[in-house]
């Protein structure tokens, strides 16, 4: 909930941190004892970031309940904010995802800088080497440019074809991105300073791992979004629900600890959260699958220059009758049930969110233990940094993307068309003939009648 280290340390802090670092170095990565909540002695006092209004309203309660209320209110605020953004539409969602990614990366970077200071007993030196921050942000920019360029090329193809500069940028996109990255790489090599080689390589490696984790994930999230907002909302909601449900089950029934890494998690919470999330997923997808706004792929309308979410819902989102297995039949007394096929997929998504999502959380907990921080930052009062909220989302976006790619849809037809038109004419003819033979075989194309 609070940072153990401040931004821009004061001299007194530096001294304390140096003392800390000496003892840290001797124990070589030994984590503090199991209590996550007790702050380290010798650490600067915690910063309370809660807004004044909340503090006043809750001033009467004991600190434990106050904490609980702060967390609860902020949770509701975030969820409402989330739904408002969904209402505003895909474009805004994309911008939010980018902003979050930048913030998350900033959090991670900052953590590392602080850690590095102590490890090498050179507190302020890192901030005096201006290249580090510039380079990290530059690499973030390059990778973002690359990913967004690919997205634009894929989904905004008509727009791209129209504008001449965009067309050139799109055609040589990979080359341009690579050149940008190379420039950063050469700048890194030229910026190597004699006494700080190791630090600089750490930062380089750190930046790349962070980019790999954070940026790839958000790129995949945006891909999922274009597939249909439901593929974006349901996974994220399942993870949030699992978080909340596991917490509540653990709060009321929790007894057996789950894993040494996170002493607050319990088996009861884990299993209860699993079942609750599956049920929640089923209900939420039932509600959402009825609305075109959520179900249709996001398309960019070339004429009106806006995003369009309108289509004929695919089979996944049409109600169908399913015969219940006899076990459930005797239980519930219904013979068939009308559900969307998508709800069956949502069971898979919820199951993944409940079983694997926590591993992302454990990863982040281990990470925080390893580098002795309580939270990634204190951006959100009561919850910590952005990364704290999103640590369980890690892996979820990748899973959804892989799931969609493997089981739901094939390749993007407009992209295939683009590639077709880029081929040589004789290759196109060859493909044309093969395709025609294939379609005639399947009976889609009558050999005699070929409509103009």
Site for other proteins in 338-357 (CB under 8 A): 356
275 is a site residue for other proteins (CB under 8 A): no
Span near other proteins by CB under 8 A; candidates 226-234, 292-300, 333-341, 423-431: 423-431
H-only helix segments in 333-452: 341-355, 357-370, 386-390, 396-403, 413-422, 425-442
Stretch that binds other proteins, among 61-69, 154-162, 378-386, 404-412 (CB under 8 A): 404-412
Round to whole Å and give the CA distance between 357 and 30: 26
Give SS3 for 323.
strand
**Is 425 near other proteins (CB under 8 A)?**
yes
Q: Which of residues 206-245 bind other proteins (CB under 8 A)?
A: 206, 208-209, 212
For residue 6, state whether it binds other proteins (rule: CB under 8 A).
no
Does 428 participate in binding other proteins (rule CB under 8 A)? Answer: yes
Interface with other proteins, residue 200, by CB under 8 A = yes
Binders of other proteins among residues 122 to 181 (CB under 8 A) are 122, 171-172, 174-175, 178
Q: Which stretch binds other proteins (CB under 8 A): 4-12, 39-47, 152-160, 429-437?
A: 429-437
Instruction: Considering the complex, state which of residue 70 and residue 400 has its C-beta at the smaller distance from other proteins.
Output: 400
What is the C-alpha separation between 239 and 234, in angstroms, rounded? 9
> Which 3 state secondary structure label does DSSP give 262?
strand
406 counts as binding other proteins under rule CB under 8 A: yes
**Residue from the set 47, 79, 158, 402 that interacts with other proteins by CB under 8 A:** 402
Which residue in 313, 369, 383, 408 binds other proteins (CB under 8 A)? 369
Nearest approach in angstroms of CB 440 to other proteins is 7
Could you tell me which stretch among 231-239, 270-278, 319-327, 426-434 binds other proteins (CB under 8 A)?
Answer: 426-434
Of the candidates 108, 113, 123, the residue with the CA atom closest to the CA atom of residue 9: 123
Neighbours of 5 (CB within 10 A): 21
Pairing of strands 262-266, 299-301: unpaired
Tell me the window of 21-29, 162-170, 229-237, 239-247 that interacts with other proteins (CB under 8 A). 21-29
303 DSSP assignment: T
Task: List the structure tokens of 340.
Answer: 């969307």
Contacts of the segment 338-344: beta carbons below 8 A, 24+ positions apart? 339/286, 340/285, 340/286, 340/289, 340/316, 341/315, 341/316, 341/317, 342/230, 342/285, 342/289, 342/316, 342/317, 343/281, 343/282, 343/285, 343/286, 343/289
Under the phi-then-psi rule, with left for phi > 0, alpha for psi from -120 to 50, and beta for the rest, what region is 24?
alpha
Nearer to other proteins, 174 or 306 (CB): 174
257 touching other proteins, by CB under 8 A? no
């Amino acid at each position: 909930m609070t940072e153990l280290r401040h931004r821009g340390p004061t001299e007194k802090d530096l001294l304390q941190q140096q003392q800390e670092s000496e003892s840290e170095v001797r124990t070589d990565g030994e984590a503090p004892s199991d209590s996550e909540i007790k702050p380290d002695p010798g650490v600067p006092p915690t910063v309370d970031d809660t807004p004044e209004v909340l503090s006043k309203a809750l001033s009467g309660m004991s600190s434990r309940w106050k904490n609980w209320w702060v967390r609860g209110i902020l949770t509701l605020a975030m969820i409402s904010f989330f739904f408002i953004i969904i209402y505003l539409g895909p474009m805004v969602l994309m911008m939010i995802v980018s902003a979050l990614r930048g913030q998350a990366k900033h959090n991670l970077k900052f953590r590392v800088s602080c850690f590095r200071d102590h490890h090498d007993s050179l507190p302020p030196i890192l901030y005096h080497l201006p290249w580090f921050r510039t380079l990290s942000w530059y690499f973030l920019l390059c990778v973002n440019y690359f990913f967004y360029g690919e997205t634009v090329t894929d989904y905004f193809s008509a727009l791209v074809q129209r504008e001449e500069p965009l067309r050139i940028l799109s055609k040589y996109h990979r080359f341009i991105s690579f050149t940008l990255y190379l420039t950063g790489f050469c700048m890194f090599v030229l910026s190597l300073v004699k006494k700080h080689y190791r630090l600089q390589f750490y930062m380089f490696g750190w930046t790349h791992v962070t980019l790999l984790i954070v940026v790839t994930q958000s790129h995949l999230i945006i891909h999922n979004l274009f597939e249909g907002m439901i593929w974006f909302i349901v996974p994220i909601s399942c993870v949030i629900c699992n978080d909340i449900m596991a917490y509540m089950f653990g709060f009321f029934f929790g007894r057996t600890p789950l894993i040494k890494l996170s002493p607050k998690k319990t088996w009861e919470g884990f299993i209860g959260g699993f079942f609750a999330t599956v049920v929640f997923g089923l209900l939420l997808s039932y509600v959402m699958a009825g609305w075109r706004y959520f179900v249709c792929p996001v398309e960019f309308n070339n004429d009106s220059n806006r995003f369009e979410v309108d289509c004929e819902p695919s089979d996944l989102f049409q109600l169908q009758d399913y015969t219940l297995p006899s076990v459930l039949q005797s239980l519930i007394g219904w013979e068939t049930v009308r559900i969307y096929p998508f709800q069956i997929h949502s069971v898979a998504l919820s199951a993944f969110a409940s079983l694997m999502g926590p591993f992302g959380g454990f990863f982040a907990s281990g990470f925080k233990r390893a580098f002795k921080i309580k939270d990634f930052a204190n951006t959100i009062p009561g919850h910590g940094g952005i990364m704290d909220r999103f640590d369980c989302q890690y892996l979820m976006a990748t899973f959804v993307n892989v799931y969609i790619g493997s089981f739901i849809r094939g390749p993007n037809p407009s992209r295939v068309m683009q590639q077709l038109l880029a081929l040589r004419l004789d290759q196109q003819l060859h493909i044309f003939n093969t395709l025609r033979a294939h379609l005639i075989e399947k009976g889609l194309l009558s050999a005699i009648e070929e409509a103009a």
